[in-house]
Structure 1
Amino acid sequence: MAKIVDNPKRFKVIELSRNELAKIGGIGICDRCNGTSNTGYYVAVLNCWFCPKCYNEWYGCATHYPEDIKIENKNFEYYKNLFDL
């Protein structure tokens, strides 16, 4: 079941299964490595879905910039509503 992921860097992230993503038209292929995974992470600031490995790699070096908040919030609210979160 889709859920919001809390993280110290305050990125807006939704963890969801490949099947949940498919129900809204996604194909469940990681936007970074092009691999597949049963579970992944939608990163609102990037508007991307990552497999767990790529999400952890990205998160490790990611910086949350204040100027990105407006688009991050817009993307997050859209997907949050799709998944009834």
Structure 2
Amino acid sequence: MHQRLLAADDLDGDALVAMAAAAGLDTGRFVADLDSPAVADRVDADLRSARNSGADGTPTFFLDGHRIDGSLVDIIAAVERSLAAPTGPKGR
């Protein structure tokens, strides 16, 4: 579905439902979710959370409550530092 969305020129409701069907999704549930105020509220909350945390693209990585910028090498190094810390990663 992700690749279909990125390649699409048209993202109206009918096009989205057709993509969902092509991806093998339950189109009845898909349509219900598209029209659901609860789902819209969840998406809005996720967007606010991303903006508030400084996530401005995907993927964005966070470790121990801090955004990690940089390459995969930088991310791996941050994880290794966190694991090597005397108390281990936060929350464990």
Tell which structure's C-alpha radius of gyration is larger.
2
Q: Which has the higher contact order (CA 8 A, sep 6+)?
A: 1
- Structure with greater proportional strand content: 1
TM-score normalized by the length of structure 2: 0.30
